[in-house]
Amino acid sequence: MGKVPHESIFDTPAVVIDEAKMQRNIDEMAETARASGVSLRPHVKTHKIPAIARRQVAAGAVGITVAKVSEAEVMAEGGIGDIFIAYPLVTETKIRRAIRLSGRARLILAVDSLEGASLMSAVAGSEGVVLEVRLEVDSGLRRTGVPRSEAVRLAREIATLQNLDVTGIYTYRGAVLEDGSPARDLAEAGRLEGEFMVAVAEGIRNAGVPIQDVSLGSTPTAEHAATVEGVTEIRPGTYVFYDRMQAQMGVCSIEECALRVMATVVSRPTPGLAVIDGGSKTFATDVQPNVTPLDLAGFGLVVGHPEAVLDRVTEEHGMLSLDEGSGLEVGDTVEIIPNHVCSTVNLHEEVYLRSGDEDVETLRVAARGMVR
C-alpha cells in the first residue's frame, strides 16, 4: 500500500477518497458522541477497511459494528479489539466461529428470538464460554428485531439461559418513523427513536433484567438520538464518507462527501448522450432514481456537470443524458458522487485515499463481499 503519484494510478473506473474530508467527518461524529456523553460504535459496512476503522477508534470510537462474522474476522485481524455483530446468529457454524473470534477481541452478539438464543446458549455451554448478547428490537424498519410488545417477555426468557449475558438492547431504524413511514424531520425522528428505545429498556429493567446498553442511531438520526437521556451508544456508518442520499436528506452538504467515483467518457454516439466506463459493476443501483421520497435524478451526482444525468446503467456502461451543448468529450474524466456509498464500495476490490494533490494510497476493501 505505497504512495504513488495520482496520475499513474487512477485507471478508471476508480473509487477515490479525499483523506482530509474523511478525517473531518470521523472527527466531527466522534465529537458529537462525546458532547452528548454517549459511546460511538460506527458500522463499518460503509468502508469495510480495517485501516479506516482504526482511524475511527483512534478518534474516540469504543469499537465497531459489523453485520457478518466474516467481517468481524477481517476487522479483528486488522487490529480492532471490540466488535459488535449486529445480526442474529442462528446456526451452529457461525456461533462457533464467533466463539473462536471472542478469544481475540471483545465480542458482542445479537439475538432476536428464543430459538436463536437457545442454540447460542447450548453452543456456548459446550465451549465453556459466556457470550455477551444484545436483544434487537424492531423500532419501525420491519426487518430483524423483536416487536416492542414482545421485547420484555423475550428478554426475560433469554436472561434465564445459561452461558449468555444479556447486557443491552439495540435497534436500527434509519430515516423512518415507528410506523415505517419516511421521516421528514430528522431531529424529531432521532428523538423519537431514542425515547422509544429508552422506554423499552426501562420495561426490561423493571421486569428484572439489568441491562445497561441502549444502542441505536443511523447517520441521519444519530446526533439527535444521542441527546436523549438513557441512550448509551450510537452506531452511524455512512457518515465516514457521506453520499448523495445523505445530502438529499439534508444530513450533509455535497462538499462534505468524501468519496467520488472517477470514470472516463468512452463514447459520444449522439449529442445528447455520453457513455462512461462504469455501470452496474461500478455504481450501486439499490437506491433507484426518481423514487420517492428522495426523487434523485440518476444513479449519482456528476460533479461540475449539472447538465449530465447518469440515468441508465448496464454492467459495463453508464449512460449520461446531456444537453446538446455539453462540452464532455471522449477521453474526459468525470467525478460522480454515488447515491448509496456503502453498496458502491462493496463492488470494488480497492479504493484510493488521496491526500493533497500528489499522494495516493491504495487501500484494499478487505471485508468486501463478506456474506457469511
Residue pLDDT, tens place only, 240-288: 999 999 999 999 999 999 999 999 999 999 999 999 999 999 999 999 9
Instruction: Quote the CATH superfamily of domain 254-339.
Output: D-serine dehydratase-like domain (2.40.37.20)
> Does 159 have pLDDT greater than 60?
yes
Residues carrying CATH 2.40.37.20, the chain: 254-339
pLDDT at 4: 37
- The pair phi, psi for residue 12, each rounded to 5°, is -85, 160
The DSSP output letter for 298 is S
Nearest to 65 by CA among 228, 189, 203, 213: 213
Question: Average of pLDDT values for 102-125?
Answer: 97
pLDDT at 8: 53
pLDDT at 223: 96
Binned at pLDDT 50, 70 and 90, residue 179 comes out as confident
Question: Which of 88-92, 178-182, 212-216, 240-244 shows the lowest per-residue confidence on average (mean pLDDT)?
Answer: 178-182
SS3 state at 232 = coil
> Does 142 have pLDDT greater than 50?
yes
CA torsion sign for 98, 103, 104, 105 is positive
Taking the C-alpha atoms of residue 146 and residue 112, their distance in angstroms, rounded to an integer, is 5
pLDDT at 326: 85
Across the chain, mean pLDDT equals 94
pLDDT at 141: 87
CA torsion sign for 219, 232, 168, 95 is positive
pLDDT at 2: 38
What are the tens digits of pLDDT across the range 221-245?
999 999 999 999 999 999 999 999 9
Helix axes 69-77, 92-101, angle to 10 degrees: 20
Taking the C-alpha atoms of residue 306 and residue 301, their distance in angstroms, rounded to an integer, is 8
pLDDT at 9: 63
Question: Average of pLDDT values for 181-188?
Answer: 88
Residues carrying CATH 3.20.20.10, the chain: 19-240
pLDDT at 347: 98
> Does 6 have pLDDT greater than 50?
no
Location of C-alpha cell 439499490: 286
**Are the beta carbons of 168 and 134 closer than 8 angstroms?**
yes
Which pTM value belongs to this model?
Answer: 0.94
Question: Which of 116-130, 177-191, 197-211 shows the lowest per-residue confidence on average (mean pLDDT)?
Answer: 177-191
pLDDT at 265: 97
pLDDT at 182: 83
Cα distance between the two ends of the chain: 27
Question: Average of pLDDT values for 321-337?
Answer: 92
CA dihedral in degrees (69, 72, 74, 77; nearest 10)? Answer: -130
Q: What CATH class is the domain 19-240?
A: alpha beta
pLDDT at 203: 98
Alpha carbon of 234 to those of 151, 185, 359: distances in Å?
A: 20, 19, 33
Taking the C-alpha atoms of residue 116 and residue 260, their distance in angstroms, rounded to an integer, is 40
Taking the C-alpha atoms of residue 264 and residue 269, their distance in angstroms, rounded to an integer, is 15
Alpha carbon of 191 to those of 87, 172, 184: distances in Å?
A: 24, 14, 13
Location of C-alpha cell 481475540: 104
Binned at pLDDT 50, 70 and 90, residue 5 comes out as very low
pLDDT at 25: 98
